[in-house]
């Protein structure tokens, strides 16, 4: 979508002019719950964004794995503009064509049969948790309510999903946490099997732990979890919020293991920046959520749904998925070349498709700040991992440019 440009000239880390004015206003009025980078992004196109002072940045973060088609993808823009002139919102009291079309596209792509729409990843994971409990109750298993999740996982910011998250730092200050969640080491099948008990309802897993440092499940792990769930009468729930919608080279990351979960959660890249989440589930599981058991005022809103329809249509194109796979392999190979040149700085380069991480022997925050000064936007996944989640249309030249900047930043 964009042509490559020369490496950016180093820029001052200090915000100036419009950036500074807006940041001061933000500090006066916004809740200070984010560690925001000190620039105000004003516009974007493809893999490029510009701040309020007109500085250009190469964006290899993509809204944290959200803008898979890149900023202001023309087909998304056309679809959203057309819908804005027709109808914005009617609520789920009524049917709407964009939502029905989206459900049909997603179920066809996933192999699952039912779709529920919400507004975010946390809400999609809440739906998974409620589904698991309700299914077990309907099966007559009134004591089965616990969900096994994994250490270093991330599932959202609501009270239930933050408890499902296997990172203690997100729990602090919100105790007592809701009951019903057990965390075990990621990738350890024996630990999962040992954790299964009479109260276990489901297992919730990310194919790649995004916030946990871009760590992939060991080969065969998801398949083994599927077998364990079948054996024990549990639901297998797959959190595809960061990995779904083509980001790993398959429409959904669980498809790399040739399994079918009982339900999955989606958000982020589903709307290419429009706020939308989804839960997809089997016909059998879906029977438990009868009218009155779950809902959302804005879920599947017409504007978000038309954007998501463009995304699903694009990411189900075989050529796009092949491109994501090839570019991911290229990106990872180039990152490992840098690792070989800086073996005392970089511990590991890892990931799949357009979700990659560079784990350092040092804190990532200063490196991310230096990258921004040099015209590159990335962020941290954990304290020591630099995360990349670019557009699927990022070019090889842009990958090269971004990694040159990273190497400069690592060298100080």
Cβ(277)–Cβ(121) below 8 Å: yes
In whole angstroms, give the CA distance from residue 52 to residue 43: 8
In whole angstroms, give the CA distance from residue 334 to residue 178: 44
Calculate the average pLDDT of the chain.
95
Question: CATH assignment of 74-315, given 3.40.630.30, 3.40.50.150, 3.40.50.800, 3.40.640.10?
Answer: 3.40.640.10
pLDDT at 394: 98
Q: Strand, helix or coil at 278?
A: strand
Could you state, in order of their start, the residue ranges of all structural domains in the chain? Answer: 17-59+319-410, 74-315
Would the pLDDT of 232 be above 50? yes
Residue 176 tokens read as 């007592």
Would the pLDDT of 4 be above 50? no
| DSSP one-letter code for 272 | B
17-59+319-410, CATH topology level:
3.90.1150
Q: Do domains 17-59+319-410 and 74-315 have the same CATH topology?
A: no
- Kindly report, residue by residue over 173-193, the tens digit of the pLDDT: 999 999 999 999 999 999 999
Would the pLDDT of 1 be above 80? no
- Phi-psi map region of 159: left, alpha, beta (phi>0 left; psi -120 to 50 alpha): alpha
16 confidence band (pLDDT: 50, 70, 90): low
Cβ(107)–Cβ(308) below 8 Å: no
Q: What is the pTM of this model?
A: 0.94
pLDDT at 308: 98
Would the pLDDT of 101 be above 80? yes
pLDDT at 6: 44
In whole angstroms, give the CA distance from residue 42 to residue 53: 9
Our CA angle for 341, 343, 349, nearest 5°, is: 90
pLDDT at 381: 95
8 confidence band (pLDDT: 50, 70, 90): very low
- Kindly report, residue by residue over 237-282, the tens digit of the pLDDT: 999 999 999 999 999 999 999 999 999 999 999 999 999 999 999 9
């Amino acid at each position: 979508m964009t042509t490559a440009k020369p490496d950016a000239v180093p820029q001052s880390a200090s915000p100036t002019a419009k950036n500074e004015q807006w940041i001061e206003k933000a500090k006066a009025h916004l809740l200070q719950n984010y560690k925001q980078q000190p620039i105000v992004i004003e516009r974007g196109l493809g893999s490029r964004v510009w701040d309020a002072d007109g500085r250009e940045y190469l964006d290899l973060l993509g809204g944290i794995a959200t803008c898979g088609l890149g900023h202001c993808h023309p087909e998304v823009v056309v679809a959203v503009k057309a819908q804005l002139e027709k109808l914005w919102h009617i609520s789920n009291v009524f049917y709407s064509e964009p939502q029905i079309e989206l459900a049909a596209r997603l179920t066809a792509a996933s192999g699952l049969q039912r779709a529920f729409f919400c507004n975010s990843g946390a809400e999609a994971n809440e739906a998974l948790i409620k589904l698991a409990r309700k299914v077990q109750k309907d099966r007559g298993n009134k004591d089965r309510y616990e969900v096994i999740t994994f250490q270093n996982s991330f599932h959202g910011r609501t009270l239930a999903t933050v408890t499902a998250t296997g990172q203690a730092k997100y729990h602090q200050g919100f105790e007592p946490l809701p009951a019903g969640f057990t965390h075990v080491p990621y990738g350890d099948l024996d630990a999962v099997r040992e954790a299964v008990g009479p109260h276990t309802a489901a297992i919730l897993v990310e194919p790649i732990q995004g916030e946990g440092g871009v760590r992939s499940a060991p080969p065969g792990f998801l398949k083994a979890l599927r077998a364990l769930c079948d054996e024990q009468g549990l639901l297998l729930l797959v959190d595809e919020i960061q990995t779904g919608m083509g980001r790993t080279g398959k429409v959904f990351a669980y498809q790399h293991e040739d399994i079918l979960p009982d339900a999955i959660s989606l958000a982020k890249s589903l709307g290419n920046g429009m706020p939308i989440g989804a839960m997809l589930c089997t016909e059998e599981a879906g029977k438990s959520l009868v009218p009155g058991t779950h809902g959302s005022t804005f879920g599947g809103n017409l504007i978000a749904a038309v954007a998501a329809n463009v995304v699903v249509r694009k990411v189900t194109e075989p050529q796009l998925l092949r491109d994501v796979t090839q570019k991911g392999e290229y990106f990872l190979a180039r990152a490992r070349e840098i690792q070989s040149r800086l073996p005392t700085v970089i511990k590991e380069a890892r990931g799949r498709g357009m979700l990659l991480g560079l784990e350092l022997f040092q804190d990532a925050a200063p490196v991310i700040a230096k990258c921004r000064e040099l015209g590159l936007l990335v962020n941290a996944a954990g304290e020591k991992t630099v995360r990349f989640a670019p557009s699927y249309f990022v070019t090889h030249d842009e990958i090269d440019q971004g990694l040159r900047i990273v190497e400069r930043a690592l060298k100080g």
